[in-house]
Chains A and B, each alone.
Chain A
Amino acid sequence: MSYYGSADYRYNDDLALRMRDIKKGNLDLGWLKAGTESRKFATENKKRGLTYMDLNHGSYGYDDLPELPRGPRGAAPRGAAFVPENQADLEPELNRKTDVWAYKVASFTEEAMSRQWDATTDVPWKDLDQYPRSEEIEIAFAQLCTFFTEVELIATDLPAKWLWRMNNQFSEVKHFIATQAMDEARHAEVFRKRALAGGIGLMEALPQTEHSLKAILDGDTYSEASAFMHLLAEGNVLTMFRFSEFISPTPVDKRIFQLVMQDEARHVSYGMQHLKWIMDHAPEQKEQLHRALDEGENVTINQFDAALTECMIVLAGKGTKPEQIQEGIKVVGNMQAKQITEYFHRLERAGFAERIPRSKFTPMMADLGIGQGVKAAL
């Protein structure tokens, strides 16, 4: 037990006297004089219901939340009355708005709440038997699902690692991160279920990939970890989801990718808007983020030669015959170039275009002579 409360209530005369008074009907009612702001909040759009954006006014809102919310360190919700020296200090470590905030985070959270789905019932599992697949296609798809099962839980562990360190004044960000953890748990669940429903089962874990995951989890700051995970890694996965929908062997699989894509796009958007917030409010952090992404891109490069690439080639070419392999290589090459160009576009949109010439992907793609789109982006 690390924390002992300030009073022993077994032997507490104040408590006994208070209970006696309340029992007699003598209420203190000090809480009625909270002195907090009273405002008329209403739903601005009946169809959307009562959103966080509707509550974004005055002392309850997030727009007026300062960069350094001095005082609140406990469980008091933003806008509630509290006495700084009388709060139970939860010792939050992330207390600057810039540490966590993102443009549009409240609407991302609302979207996450309204677009929940269920991997158990929203995927037509019973239809899987209607669509014959060759064994090599199912093996390739099982490897792809093993990869997704493996990587998706990093996006629960990483948000969870940082969420409890954030000041409760940033409740919309904390709530968004909680929704992301749930989204990613559902993603890991749906890919595990798909691998175990297809006849092959789970295949091999990928050490190269795991080194990337470790690098994400071990980020020194939340913003570094977010740039690596939300923007780079989840950005890559989002492109892979789109591509995987295209090469899915069955309509059941297409449905899975349609469902996970909408979640993943939201996470990438949060990462981009968090980076943009930093660029706009704390540009002095640029070099630190450059260094984090230098290493993030480095470990990402090591994934290009994994079984992962080959399983996608087999799926894209619909088999392992030489002509099918050639077709698969063309499709996967385009997808990989697209991963890089989309990453670069996100950096631009976040106001971090200066990253592109420094990126480790840039010379590598040139060496390989692929990705005309990358050159165009430069």
Chain B
Amino acid sequence: MAYIAPKDYAADPEIVAKILRTISGQLELDWMKRVGEPAAFRPSQPSRGLTLDDINQGGYGPDKLPEVIRHNFSMAPRGSLMPPGLPSLGYRVNRKSDVWADVAASLFEESKSRRWAPARDVPWSALDTPAHDQRHELALCQIATGLISIGLVSCDVAASWEWRMNQEFHEIKYLLCAQMFDAGRIAEAFRKRALYGGGSLGVDSRPLGELLKSIFLSDTYPEASVSMNLLLFSWVQAIGRHWAAHASNAADAYLGGQLAQDATRFVSYGVDHVRSHLHARPLQAEALADHLDLCENALVGALGAPELIEPLVIVSGGFEPAAAFYRRTASEYFRRCDAAGLGDRREVSALTPFLRMLQGDSP
């Protein structure tokens, strides 16, 4: 047991005495006088309900949060009164610019309002008579196997940082819980997709595992965020769209659409987070760029691995459509990097020579 209470309360006569005083009706009630900032917030748009943005006002909102949290390492909610004696819960991520994105609260709201459950919401019986051949089906199962791995490790990444974040950033912590939930659902949905009917899982991809490990073992949260939310999920989002666009049945169309929708939240947070991080601390651009150099290199390994590119070629109907899909997705990703303040990564990214390779040019 790592934490030992300062007293053996069970043997503390003062505790029993206090409880007996309470039982006899001698209440202190002094807590009733310790009231903070009054608040009676209401939905700004009744049809949307009471959102986090509606209650983020005055001392309860994040606007007055300092860049470095020095006043609260406990679980006291932001805006509550903090008496002496609150312990430190050991939070390690205490700088606002390391985690913050203004869009986070809305993305958390969206994640709840767009909830879906793979067990019931996917029309699984549409897979009973898929309008594609067996090789195409096995290619989808192989892509699904990769998506399950992505879901499992993305859930780990969000979890590994959430518990280290200061409670003052509760909107970000909420969003990371939603990411854990969304990533777990990706793993669930595509496991079910691969196995339904007479399906099977495919093979593990070492290069994909290396990409995921590079993200999982990021040294800082901004590095984890830029590599997972902005880089990895740009590709997950694109795979979702591609899956839906090439679907031969209602189940696959639904799954691809939902994957793209959920992945878009990761990307949106990533762009806004990196942008605000670099706005507050522009010198961090180099650290993020270094990390992306390595993760993009790992991504090239995953994109070029037979376990991914070959099933994509089959599903896309040939090499050229698959290569076009890669080019389009890379282009979108580069635009997002630019929008996030990372500059033009086309010239430095390992993706660029890889795309040239796909065109048949010398890398």
Contacts and interface: CB of A to CB of B under 8 A. Distances in A.
A205 B74 contact: yes
B163 A161 contact: yes
Given A49-B120, A368-B19, A146 B77 contact: yes
B301 A174 contact: no
B174 A188 contact: yes
A139 B39 CA distance: 12
Contact of B306 (A18, A195, A204, A360): A18
Contact of B81 (A197, A205, A305, A329): A205
B48 to A, nearest CB: 7
Contacts of B336: none
A89 B217 CA distance: 11
Given A5-B211, A175-B188, A299-B5, A197 B173 contact: no
B253 to A, nearest CB: 17
B297 A9 contact: yes
Interface stretch (B63-71, B86-94, B261-269, B337-345): B86-94
A39 interface: yes
Interface stretch (A30-38, A95-103, A232-240, A272-280): A30-38
A160 B85 contact: no
Contacts of A28: 306, 310
5 contacts: A146-B77, A193-B50, A196-B40, A207-B83, A298-B5
Given A60-B201, A181-B177, A220-B2, A1 B77 contact: no
Nearest to B142: A31
Given A90-B213, A197-B39, A114 B119 contact: yes
Nearest to A168: B152
Interface string B1-34: 1111101111000011011101101011101101
Contacts of B40: 196-199
A211 B75 CA distance: 10
B124 A43 contact: yes
B153 A90 contact: yes
B350 interface: yes
Nearest to B298: A5
Contacts, number: 481
A102 to B, nearest CB: 16
B162 to A, nearest CB: 4
B5 A295 contact: yes
The range of chain A's interface size is 35 or more
A139 B80 CA distance: 13
A27 B306 contact: yes
Interface in A343-378: 360, 363-364, 367-368, 370
Contacts of A291: 1
B291 interface: yes
The range of chain B's interface size is 35 or more
A212 B209 CA distance: 38
Contacts of A70: none
Interface string A70-103: 0000111101111100111110000000000000
B304 A82 contact: no
Contact of A1 (B36, B207, B291): B291
B75 A210 contact: yes
A201 B87 contact: no
Contacts of A139: 32, 35
B208 to A, nearest CB: 7
Given A1-B291, A36-B200, A110-B119, A193 B363 contact: no
Contacts of B178: 182, 185
B1 A31 contact: no
Interface stretch (B239-247, B271-279, B327-335, B352-360): B352-360
Top 10 A-B residue pairs of the complex, sorted by shortest distance between their CB atoms: A88-B209, A205-B76, A82-B204, A76-B204, A49-B119, A307-B31, A49-B120, A207-B85, A164-B156, A120-B49
B202 A22 contact: no
A13 B219 CA distance: 30
Contact of B219 (A2, A123, A326): A2
A220 B1 contact: yes
Nearest to A139: B32
Nearest to B312: A22
